[in-house]
Amino acid sequence: MTDFDPEQFEDKYANYFPQLQKAYQQAFEVMNDRYDSELVHAIDQQILNESEPFYDDDQGFYVELPESPVDRLTAIIVDDEKLSTVLEEYVGQIEAELHDIFGVER
């Protein structure tokens, strides 16, 4: 667990880069165990690579996705509903990992 300072999270890549990497990697591993690895890898590389984690006192950690995330996925063919379900769970897993790594309650 890392000491967390919300003000330092504004410059997250300078102050917390290893923790962010760890959260995303742990979420990837969890999702890869639950779902098709091609789908998880495609989401990771084509959608989440442009995502942005944020923190605020009311919401805690949350992840903003790039515009039109479903349209960004071109590496594989997947039903939009399935993609949305897996993506939503993946984002939730990243947020959970961030809360755990930084010791911030949800």
Contacts of 81 (CB under 8 A, 6+ apart): none
- What pTM does this model have? 0.93
Q: What is the pLDDT along the chain (106 residues), one digit of tens a residue?
A: 668 999 999 999 999 999 999 999 999 999 999 999 999 999 999 999 999 999 999 999 999 999 999 999 998 999 999 999 999 999 999 999 999 999 998 7
Give 19's Cβ-side CA count (13 Å radius): 23
